[in-house]
């Protein structure tokens, strides 16, 4: 491969995307917004997207290098300077920039001065030679693994303890970019109609073998038209499986305890043929607004959104009012790292107990809502047993009238008999956990 060549405009697009990525989630939305502003063309999109996601994946390492060079945490730097240094370190340390690109990196000082303050531009210009000359020192096995797989050392150790030699396959899979997956909304159209639309656009795609309404788009393509029309919704295979496992029926009363952004709520309404009632709880105002837009676009008529903590749901709705409860519990979300690469460096082992405490309170709330004979699906997008099997085991020991309904299809058995796990390296989707519990 030749040396990396980047123009001023391409560097500006990357810097703005990295800065926006701190404010706009998911990170691909930030990338789209910045790339659109700097008129990134199709022929250059692939190269710049690769660099952008590489920065997200390496963020912890990049920030360690910046801290070594600057002497303080990058988190206290001016946001524009922080984003610029992240781009500069990625290009200088991890790639082979051409002389012209090195010149353009120096020229970024003017861009920085305009965006924030001349002193920031001067500071960056003075620091850049040290960035361009930086050579890392790797002197331990743990550091080497961290540099190879771009994960915190505790997480690498934990995955090794869980699945042994498979751990490296898992870490590799988490470093690969997943194709966009869309789930066809049968309330408005058919799978065949969506496939015909994609054929007409010359887009390569494949249908999921596990969810017959899910399509993976294999080319660079923005499915915005399909989403705006309500014909489809962006959703990974693993969360789509969750609604199929809970299997809500027309006429039933369903509670979705952590519902936003609404993918599973919309899926359940479709499975119910828009007959019955779904109460969709969430506490985040912005996420509820997005969920309402999703439900409106997809033609869902039976969902009522409620801005409230799921732990208060039994008081809001009354006890034993639900035929089925969906609890896709808040979690560390480590199973989604392939979709949200920057997340890996926000994983903190010390935060797990606090998350588990919330999960236990929510599953208790879900149980109070459930009618006798009803079913509760507990799921997370985490791969850590503390948030999954250990929560379910604790719950089953506490509630003698709770019966685990065994799951072993379409993914792998969990570490607790009867539970199920989707693994990124085995199943080509995000990491996910499922436990289906019946109230006897």
Contacts of 165 (CB under 8 A, 6+ apart): none
Three-class secondary structure of residue 420 per DSSP: strand
Range 21-60 burial, b when 16+ CB lie within 10 A, else e? beebeebbebbbebbeebebeeebeeebbebbbbbbbbbb
Cα–chain-centroid distance for residue 129? Answer: 36
Q: How far apart are CA 346 and CA 334, in angstroms?
A: 10
Please classify residue 69 by burial: count the beta carbons closer than 10 Å to its beta carbon, then call 0-12 exposed, 13-18 middle and 19+ buried: middle
Is the separation of the CB atoms in 439 and 372 below 8 Å?
yes
Residue of 226, 381, 407, 416 marked active site: 381
Looking at residue 273, the DSSP 8-state letter turns out to be: T
Q: How many other CB atoms sit within 10 Å of the CB of residue 146?
A: 19
Helix locations, 209-331, DSSP H: 224-228, 237-246, 263-271, 285-297, 313-317
Helix (H) or strand (E) holding 403: strand 402-405
Q: Is 331 a catalytic residue?
A: no
Q: Which residue has the tokens 């050579």?
A: 135
Is the separation of the CB atoms in 55 and 31 below 8 Å?
no
Q: How far apart are CA 94 and CA 9, in angstroms?
A: 21
CA dihedral 134, 139, 145, 146 (to 10 degrees): -50
- Give the residue numbers marked as catalytic: 381
């Amino acid at each position: 491969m030749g040396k990396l060549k980047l123009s001023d405009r391409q560097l500006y697009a990357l810097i703005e995307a990295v800065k926006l990525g701190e404010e706009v989630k998911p990170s691909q939305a930030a990338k789209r917004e910045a790339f659109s502003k700097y008129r990134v063309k199709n022929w250059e999109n692939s190269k710049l997207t690769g660099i952008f996601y590489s920065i997200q994946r390496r963020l912890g390492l990049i920030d360690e290098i910046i801290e070594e060079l600057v002497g303080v945490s990058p988190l206290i730097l001016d946001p524009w300077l922080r984003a610029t240094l992240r781009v500069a370190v990625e290009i200088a340390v991890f790639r082979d920039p051409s002389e012209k690109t090195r010149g353009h990196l120096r020229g970024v000082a003017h861009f920085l001065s305009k965006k924030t303050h001349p002193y920031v531009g001067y500071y960056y210009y003075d620091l850049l030679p040290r960035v361009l000359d930086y050579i890392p020192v790797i002197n331990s096995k743990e550091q080497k693994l961290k540099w190879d797989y771009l994960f915190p050392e505790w997480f690498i150790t934990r995955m090794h303890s869980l699945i042994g030699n498979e751990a490296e396959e898992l870490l590799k899979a988490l470093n690969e970019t997943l194709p966009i997956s869309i789930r066809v909304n049968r309330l408005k159209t058919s799978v065949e109609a969506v496939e015909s639309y994609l054929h007409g656009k010359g887009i390569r795609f494949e249908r999921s073998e596990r969810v017959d309404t899910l399509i993976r788009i294999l080319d660079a393509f923005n499915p915005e038209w399909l989403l705006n029309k309500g014909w489809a919704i962006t959703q990974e295979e693993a969360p789509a499986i969750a609604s199929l496992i809970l299997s809500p029926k027309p006429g039933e009363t369903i509670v979705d305890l952590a519902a936003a952004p609404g993918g599973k709520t919309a899926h359940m309404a479709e499975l119910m043929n828009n007959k019955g009632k779904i109460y969709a709880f969430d506490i985040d105002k912005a996420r509820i607004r997005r969920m309402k837009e999703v439900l409106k676009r997809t033609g869902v008529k039976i969902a009522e959104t409620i801005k409230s903590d799921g732990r208060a749901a039994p008081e809001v709705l009354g006890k034993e009012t639900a035929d089925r409860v969906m609890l896709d519990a808040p979690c560390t979300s480590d199973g989604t790292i392939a979709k949200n690469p920057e997340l890996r460096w926000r994983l903190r082992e010390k935060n797990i107990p606090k998350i588990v405490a919330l999960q236990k309170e929510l599953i208790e709330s879900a149980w109070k809502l459930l009618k006798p004979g009803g079913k509760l699906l507990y799921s997370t997008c985490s791969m850590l047993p503390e948030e999954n099997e250990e929560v379910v085991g604790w719950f089953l020991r506490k509630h003698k009238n709770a019966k685990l309904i065994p799951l072993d299809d379409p993914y792998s058995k969990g570490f607790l008999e009867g539970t199920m796990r989707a693994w990124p390296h085995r199943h080509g989707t995000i990491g996910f956990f499922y436990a289906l519990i019946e109230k006897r």
